[in-house]
Amino acid sequence: MKTKRIKSHFQKVDPVIYKVIVNMELEILPQPKRSTGYFKKLCREIIAQQLASKAAHAIIGRFYNLFKREHITPDKILAFSEQELRNVGMSWAKARYTRDLAQKVKDKEVRLNNLHNLDDELVIEELIKVKGIGNWTAEMFLIFTLGREDVFSHGDLGLRKAIQKLYGFKDKPNKKQINQIVNKWSPYKSYGCLALWRSVDKQD
């Protein structure tokens, strides 16, 4: 069973994170074989940036209602003005970012249909062509949409906060210190991230 193999790996390489992950109901990340839904999920990622989950869900729900249960496509988004997107609760910046994603996908400047066949670095390189999509958003897409199992996001504040707490750093750990911990987790860094997020949730 894969979950058992993953937990056994962490037991061998890092007893600190193992104490968290051993008690988790670990869900195996999805492994998509086609690109269905990538555009919609990227819209969600843009809308949800830097928002509490409750606020993000509310705005995403109103955004979906614009499409009256039809597929969300670049053309349909471009048919809405920035003001109409703003009216569902998006910031002006996110309204522009969502339309920029739609325009670049429509113009084939950004190609989503083959992302699952690219390595992590090339996926990030493709996605950050869109205004408002940086490394963090691309890394979340890698983990939660493409199911990549060996990703760690240095830009995620929750992960850094969890490492500082769990590993007893007085000050915020730097990238080199973090890498000394998480590089041991390969090929399952993403599951280490899930455990770190869980540890922060439990503290809060």
The rounded distance, in Å, linking the Cα atoms of 45 and 82 is 18
2-16, 29-43, 59-73, 151-165: which range is least confident on average? 29-43
What integer pLDDT is reported at residue 203 of this predicted model? Answer: 55
Q: How many CB atoms lie within 10 A of CB 77?
A: 23
> Which residue has tokens 């949409």?
145
pLDDT in tens, 169-197: 999 999 999 999 999 999 999 999 999 99
The secondary structure element, H or E, covering residue 203 is: helix 189-203
The catalytic position among 14, 100, 156, 201 is 156
Mean model confidence pLDDT for the chain = 93
Phi, psi (5° rounding) for residue 89?
115, -5
Answer yes or no: 75 catalytic.
Answer: no
Q: Which pLDDT band, with edges at 50, 70 and 90, does 202 fall under?
A: low
Region 66-86: what's the mean pLDDT?
A: 94
pLDDT in tens, 115-129: 999 999 999 999 999
Q: Is 157 helix (H, G, I), strand (E, B) or coil?
A: helix
Region 13-30: what's the mean pLDDT?
A: 94
Global pTM reads: 0.91
The rounded distance, in Å, linking the Cα atoms of 63 and 50 is 17
